[in-house]
Amino acid sequence: MGPARSHEDAGRERWWLDVESANSWTTTTGLNVDALQGEADYLGSVGVAGVGFYAGSSNWQSITGGTTVFSGYPSWVPGAGTLTDAQSKCGGTGASGGPVALAQYLSSGFDGDYQCVAQPGLTFVGSPQMLTAGTASGSISLQLSQAPSGSLAVTVTSNSTTGLFSTTAAGPWSATMTLSVPAGATSTGTFYSVDTKAGTPTLTAIASGYTSASQTETVVAGPVAAVSVSPATATVPVGGTQVFSASAADAYGNPIDATGAAWSTTAPGTVAPATGNQTAFTAASTAGSGSVTASVGSVSGSASVSVVASQQMNVVVTRGSTFRSGGRYHVPLTSTATDAGTGAPIAGAGATLEVASGTCSGLIVASASGSTDSNGKFGFAFKTKARGSYCALATVNTAGYATGSGSLSFAV
């Protein structure tokens, strides 16, 4: 603490409590904090002009444990190498958490101290604006809380990479705007901003010796300029379906809601629903080509669609060796699906095997469903206690192919 003074002298100036390891402290940080609190409270009780704390980060941590209970008191911070460095600490906080009031720095081999003073500020005039992408804002200006003594340069920028400025609503536009404020004036001239990207860009104004000002604008997408349909091309077998999606954007690529898109088609088939950002095209029973179109307002986009005849498949049912176990006959049955033209196995197709009693039109007594494997096969073991005649019926379905079927009559 500073040198002892009489009660009469104490109130004339601010007192700084020196928190450095060269002084006497206990190893218990809580007790050190209590001691500092007692000193601050005493000085306040005798009416001193103010109390603050002088400390570097390391000393404050080791002596007080990094407490923030004194963050309401001003800080005097050491460690700056130059006057400029000291000035840069103003507006920040010291080790105690309190606002920096004094910053110590080296000056010709001695310690100098810079006293921080409140800077005049810049303020945007008016409320934040809502802009349409690519369209100039209304006029913007800045107010200065204190007139400069000489000409002052105020620089305005945007945190948006597509934000631009001009002194007229028609341009020309630049990424940075510098406004000259003459001595004695308390406001800038008007300027305008424009941005092609929808979002909430922040405009920032800075000037030497003044606190900066920021204002967040809102940029919304412009009118619909393009509609896209995805996928752009599709081949659909007769009777098959294909889902299409619509997206819309303005002239700058900003997305626009396409939930109101109207769908139509010139390809053999129908679309449903007729409105929305998605639709399903269902191909008719005849082959042909055309387009599926989505319209948002007067702007449309299309996808090319070809409806092709379904490919044919062959389905063969075979049986393995019958064996008896647990009082039942076990008959392994397998269906095999292949392309009718190439003979290639059809994998991943939906397959059903049913067993009818007697003839192939008889009562179904067993069934199983699943998918064909990489060899186009699906099988199961038919189990029965009764000997007799049976028929195995196989049905296979997959996109691009007409439904395939096969049968096998067998006896147990």
The residues pairing with 140 across neighbouring beta strands, listed in sequence order, are 191
For residue 311, the model assigns a pLDDT of: 86
Is 340 in contact with 391 (CB distance < 8 Å)? no
3-state secondary structure string across the chain: CCCCCCHHHHCCCEEEEECCCCCCCCCCHHHHHHHHHHHHHHHHHCCCCEEEEECCHHHHHHHHCCCCCCCCCCEEEEEECCHHHHHHHCCCECCCCCEEEEEEEEECCEEEEEECCCCCEEEECCCCCEEECCCCCCCECEEECCCCCCCEEEEEEECCCCEEEECCCCCCCECCEEEEECCCCCECCCEEEEECCCECCEEEEEECCEEEEEEECEEECCCCCEEEEECCEEEEECCCEEEEEEEEECCCCCEECCCCCEEEECCCEEEECCECCEEEEEECCCCEEEEEEEEECCEEEEEEEEEECCECEEEEEEECCCEEECCEEEEEEEEEEEECCCCCECCCCEEEEEEEECCCCCCEEEEEEEECCCCCEEEEEEEECCCCEEEEEEEEECCCECCEEEEEEEEC
- Tens digit of pLDDT at every position of the chain (412 positions): 444 444 445 556 889 999 999 899 999 999 999 999 999 999 989 888 899 999 999 999 999 999 999 999 999 999 999 988 888 888 789 999 998 999 999 988 899 999 987 778 899 999 999 999 999 999 999 999 989 888 999 999 999 999 999 999 999 999 999 999 999 999 999 999 999 999 999 999 999 878 899 999 999 999 999 999 999 999 998 888 999 999 999 999 999 999 999 999 999 999 999 999 999 999 998 999 999 999 999 999 999 999 998 889 999 999 999 999 989 999 999 999 999 999 999 999 999 999 999 999 999 999 999 999 999 999 999 999 999 999 999 999 998 888 999 999 999 9
Amino acid at 91: G
Contact 411, 388 (CB under 8 A): yes
Domains of the chain: 7-115 (no CATH), 122-220 (2.60.40.10), 226-308 (2.60.40.10), 313-411 (2.60.40.10)
How many C-beta atoms lie closer than 10 Å to residue 31's C-beta? Answer: 11
What confidence score (pLDDT) does residue 282 get? 97
From CA 222, how far away is CA 167, in angstroms rounded?
Answer: 23
Contact 308, 235 (CB under 8 A): yes
- Predicted local confidence at residue 382, as pLDDT: 96
pLDDT at 4: 40
Q: Write down the pLDDT at residue 180.
A: 96
What token pair was written down for 54? 């002088």
Q: What count of other Cβ atoms lies within 10 Å of the Cβ of residue 319?
A: 16
* Residue 390, strand partner residues: 357, 410
The reported pLDDT for the residue numbered 7 is 47
pTM for the complete prediction? 0.59
Q: Are 307 and 238 in contact (CB under 8 A)?
A: yes
Question: Are the beta carbons of 267 and 286 closer than 8 angstroms?
Answer: no
Confidence (pLDDT) at 9: 55
Contact indicator for 236, 262 with CB cutoff of 8 Å: no
Q: Is 198 left (phi over 0), alpha (psi -120 to 50) or beta?
A: beta
